[in-house]
Structure 1
Amino acid sequence: MAKKKNKMKKKQWITLAIYILSIILMMPGIFVMYLNAANKQFKGQITFGSNNHDYIFPQKPVHLSGKIVSNRDTIRLIVGFWRNYITGFGAEYETMKVSLDSLGRFDVTLPQIDHPFRIQIGDAFSHNLLFNRNQIAEPGDSIFILGIIRDQDLPSDSNFTAVFTGKGSAKYQCIQALKKNPAPTMYHIPTTESKIEITDSLINAKLRTVSNFSKEINQDILETMKADIIGDCKFNLSLSIFSDIIYNKSIQPNVKATKKVIFDDIMQKDHIFISNDILSQSAGYTQYVYLKEKLRILFSLGRNQMTYKALYENIKSLYDGKLKDKLLAYCSLNTIDLVEFFEGSDPDEFRDCLEDAANNIKVPWLNEPVKKLLSTRAKGAPAFNFSLPLDSSSRRINLEDLKGNVVLVDMWGYICTSCYRFAQAFHEKVYPEFQNNKNFKVISIMLDPYADRDKYLQRLRMENGPAYTFNTYINLYGGKNEQIAREIEKYYNINVAPFIILIDKKGRIYSTTIPFFTEKNSPNIEKLSALIRKALAES
């Protein structure tokens, strides 16, 4: 009985704390007195990326501490950050799990970085974000966070809010203030004219919010935040208006012509009075420009004729300076788009574009990851020589032992719809042509750091789900506690599943831009078959 009373009292105290904190969060002006002295940051020119600074910040860590309250039983706080933000995924993104004590208090110090960078904080259980990648941190920030997570059915910007004090906190207060003007769901707005009008109003409202912090935030960072706003809003607008142009391969000519008129009209008014150097630092604006140039090529060539090289050359010809460097790096490193949108790309064209990017990108922190991709994923690069356990045995298979064969390596996740759909379509439509060719092998690897050997064996036995692999393949375990598998992920910077590569007879990369498909009637089936035939024909 006493335990039950104590539990009830605890819940009452949590409810009261949430109520009081909710009132505080509605009155951020109370904290203004703390901000003026705390936010005197460096006012010089800055860049978001190592190795190319007009001003090098002192090596200082970012310190985050505070208290989170919630009516949830469990909170799992995750701090993510990007030392250098280009595409935002893969090896660019690092995370830290943050421990909370029984009162919801936490204290975490991020690595020392000598330039402004992007961070996000979220709750892994409720999937709510306190702030996303638009939050910029500066070396030396020391932020106290008083936050609240509201347990709701669906994640929302309003479910995780906070107030901030301390050195550099104006940037964080600004992002929270922007959450009060959330982007609408564009697909529910009936007309294009209304979508454009609402987007313009939203941009203006958000820019006014940012301007309220102009005396407290570094001017270049303030301008970058504005570029993020404009880019994100225009990206969402473009995606909602032109989604059929992007994804539909058989769009009617009259629909395409109508959309082309709308696109041309939007492009005529697409002016921004922010320098290219600042725009190159903006995550949202880079993403928007990439989509805009993709649309430009789509209207010109059509969905079926568009190639990765056409997009790359278009970007290269239209932009200059640091913005050109950023866009070429984004185009080169956006390997998810190579699979999901282009559904594969000619391996020679992909290598040529990477070589061109590596030779032309001048900003070091943008150039370095492109060169790494060229040395690991381009045609002719050495394939990673892994050694992994075979099936359920302790025997290990080395990739080097298969030299002299063309090898297709299919790396899949334990729970992955695209993985099993590709595997089944490949096995039925492509594999029969090559299964009796002694110089062709298929390696299937469960590459999943969270799936253990028992789960792997379930997949081999085709238990509890669809077939991810087949017993005629060389089946290898790359799951939990298999360190070599993690080295494979790092070497290729794998950020999508399945990840499929074709290796030539000399153990070199033949293609990492495999024609991808999940349907058994896809035209990419013949493209992949032709690619394998070509690889087999070469010595």
Structure 2
Amino acid sequence: MKNISINILLTVFCLIGFMSSSDVQAQNTTDKVYISGHIVNEKDSIGKSRIWLYAPIFTISPLRETTGGYSDSLDTKNRFSLEFDNKDLFQPETNKLGKVSIMLVPENRDIKTSLADYPVEPGDSIHIGLKGSGKTWKEEEVSFTGRGAAKYQCRREIEIVLKEGGFNSGKHISKNTIEDLKQMCQYYQNQEDRVLKILWKYKDNINKEVYTLLKADAMSEIQQGMLVQVKENYEKSSNIPKNELLEVVGYDDGLEIQAFYDKDDSYITLSPDYARYLISHTAIRLYLEKKGEVPSFEDVSEAVVDKYSGKTLEYMLAILAISSMDPHPFSSTSGIASANINVRSNFMDKILMLIKTPYIHKQIENKSHIKKGAPAYDFAFEDPAGNLVKLQDFRGKTVLMDMWFTGCGGCAEFARYLKKHIKPEFRDNEDFVIVSINVDREKETWLKSLEAEVYSEKEDVNLYNDDRYKDAGIYKYYGLNGLPFALLIDKYGKVVSHLSFGMDPKHVKNLIRETIEEKNPDLNN
């Protein structure tokens, strides 16, 4: 139930703030946000490492307009510093609050260390102390000082609780009895109690909007974990009568929803976890009403429209639209049957009409470019030899376009998917071509990755997208939220389907065959 993106996508992480303690005291302006920090106890410099600050997936933020986010290279003493105008971080509608993620990307190490989903306010001036740069930071290895530090420390303590993971049924449940089920419910209740104690400790030092956002994020994540267990137990349990199971998990009370925002509260767009929780809740209710039949994407979408209204509905629809197109569809983890390309296209048309709030509409309007029959982005990028290659160069061929970056686990997984399932049948077909587009910040990084052939192979048409950190044209055109991103494009230059490594290989191969065999009366025009 947690968005895939929740399962994948490299889990997004967040944080804010900076400047040294003395600098913090010297800053009095409220039209800037200062984010600085240092990594301590490192004997040597961490190479050409950088700090990358970006918007958490699905949040509505001006950071989405700068596809690569913002970054700063560590200096020789492993320090970093960033400065933001308010317009860089805050929507006009939610100008008191924003949310960011921050990641340490060491050049000379394979690991990336990150912190997740930290709120930010105008005037923040936070210095972050990070101890070491291993795969994860332990609780005592992160510190915050400066104006606004309380909310970061609060989020950090909550993050520690949430990172302990969800309920492990294999570890905690022995015989799938009613007692085991009660134990599972108690586990999630204990998590909630711990989070509430942390929030209470900081209540007097953070404002109402921050408190609500931190609570909505944490409780929604916990509740989604609970909903996952409800579905799994309903599917697999043979020792617990269904009626007793539903009674224990509270279905007799309608699986009560925890509400954190009014229907027209703009701040809901900062908590995708809450919106996903509401969607998951809707999907599970339908699942139980159908006595174990997985509801379709259409069923869940219609139920959401029937039940919710205002900005809450609009944001839920936006997330459904985005996640139905993204590499790791939220639907795959929420008990919603996968939607085919026609269902997604029809749904996109519907929600574009339903969403009236401009800043929410803007986040998804480019998703219409991923619809079947939409014109594909007419890219023009250089190959390793420096030759300019355009989409129109492949007129008359079926194109599988794959976008990736070095260090992306999902991108490597998609490359393996292509190598195992797609290339054996189509690599010698003259009417089919794989175009692999890299978006690394440095061209040299891309060239090294080409040699390793982890994310693409030399037999592919390999291109370097050097506009990602300029106008980010292809990113904006498709409204991308993350990578990998892959499309099947027909010989007319029109989109056929979005692709991901979670799709049935037989379906994808049939789709490619049909596209190759499609007649093209305009080919000679």
Aligned to 1:155: 136
- Show structure 2 runs of 5+ residues with no match: 1-20, 174-179
Matched AA of 1:78: I
Aligned-partner SS, 1:336: coil
Q: How does 1:174-189 map to 2 (within 5 A)?
A: 174-179=154-159, 181-185=161-165, 186-187=167-168, 188-189=171-172
CA separation of 1:388 and 1:176: change in aligned 2, threshold 3 A: closer
- Contact 1:227 1:284 survives alignment (8 Å): yes
Letter in 1 for 2:249: D
**Percent sequence identity over aligned pairs:** 17
Once residues 226 and 270 of structure 1 are traced to their aligned partners in structure 2, the CA distance between those partners, rounded to angstroms, is 17
**Secondary structure of 1:379's match?**
coil
Give runs of aligned pairs for residues 20-35 of structure 1, distance below 5 A: none
Within a 5 Å distance, the mapping from 1:112-511 to structure 2 comes to 112-113=86-87, 114=90, 115=95, 116-125=97-106, 127-129=112-114, 131-133=115-117, 135-143=118-126, 145=127, 147-150=129-132, 154-158=135-139, 160-166=141-147, 168-179=148-159, 181-185=161-165, 186-187=167-168, 188-190=171-173, 191-239=180-228, 242=231, 261-262=245-246, 265-267=249-251, 268-276=254-262, 277=265, 279=268, 281-296=270-285, 307-334=296-323, 335-338=326-329, 341=332, 345-374=339-368, 376-389=369-382, 395-411=387-403, 416-429=412-425, 435=429, 440-449=431-440, 452=443, 468-469=456-457, 471=459, 475-478=461-464, 487-495=473-481, 498-511=484-497
* Contact in 1 for aligned 2:446/2:464 (Cα 8 Å): no
Contact 2:230/2:249 (8 A) holds in 1: no
Shift of 1:331: 0.8
Q: Is the 8 A contact 2:373 2:495 kept in 1?
A: yes
Q: Deviations over 1:265-292 (max 9, x none)?
A: 3453433253333555423222323333
Secondary structure of 2:249's match? helix
- Aligned equivalents of 2:313, 2:387: Cα separation in 1: 49
CA distance in 2, matches of 1:79, 1:458: 21
Paired residues of 1:405 and 1:441 also in contact (CA < 8 A): yes
- 1:303 and 1:444 mapped to 2: Cα distance? 41
Q: Which has the larger radius of gyration?
A: 1
Deviation at 1:456, TM superposition (A): 5.6
Alpha-carbon contact 1:424-1:468 (below 8 Å) kept: no
Give the match's secondary structure for 2:424: helix
Question: Residues of 2 paired with 1:467 and 1:106: CA distance?
Answer: 30
Is the 1:78–1:122 contact (alpha carbons within 8 Å) kept by the matching residues of 2? Answer: yes
Cα distance, 1:299 vs. partner? Answer: 5.5
Q: Is residue 2:83 matched to residue 1:109?
A: yes
Residue 13 of structure 2 is matched in structure 1 by: none
Once the two structures are TM-superposed, the CA of residue 445 in structure 1 deviates from its matched residue by: 2.0
Greater relative CO (CA pairs within 8 A, separation 6+) = 2
Partners of 2:210 and 2:43 lie apart in 1 by 35
2:327 partner SS: helix
Q: Distance in 1 between the 2:124 and 2:445 partners?
A: 45
Where do 1:10-49 residues align within 5 Å? Answer: none
* Alpha carbons 2:39, 2:130 under 8 Å: kept: yes
- What TM-score do you get using the length of structure 1 for normalisation? 0.70
Q: How many residues align?
A: 462
Q: 1:323 and 1:69, CA in 2 relative to 1: closer, same or farther beyond 3 A?
A: same
**Where does residue 19 of structure 1 map in the other structure?**
none
Equivalent-residue separation in structure 1 for 2:68 and 2:364 (angstroms)? 19
Shift of residue 200 of structure 1?
A: 1.2
1:160 CA displacement: 3.0
Distance 1:457 1:127 in 2: 18
What per-residue deviation string (whole Å, max 9, x for no partner) do you get for residues 502-533 of structure 1?
Answer: 33443222323x475688xx442454246526
Change (3 A) 1:300 1:525: farther
Superposed CA offset, 1:366-399 (max 9, x none): 111211221x222232211123446x65554432
Q: Decide whether aligned partners of structure 1 residues 468 and 346 sit closer, same or farther in structure 2, where only a CA change above 3 A counts.
A: same
Q: Please report the TM-score for the alignment, with normalisation by the length of structure 2.
A: 0.71
Deviation of 1:182 (Å): 5.0
Deviation of the 1:410 alpha carbon:
4.1
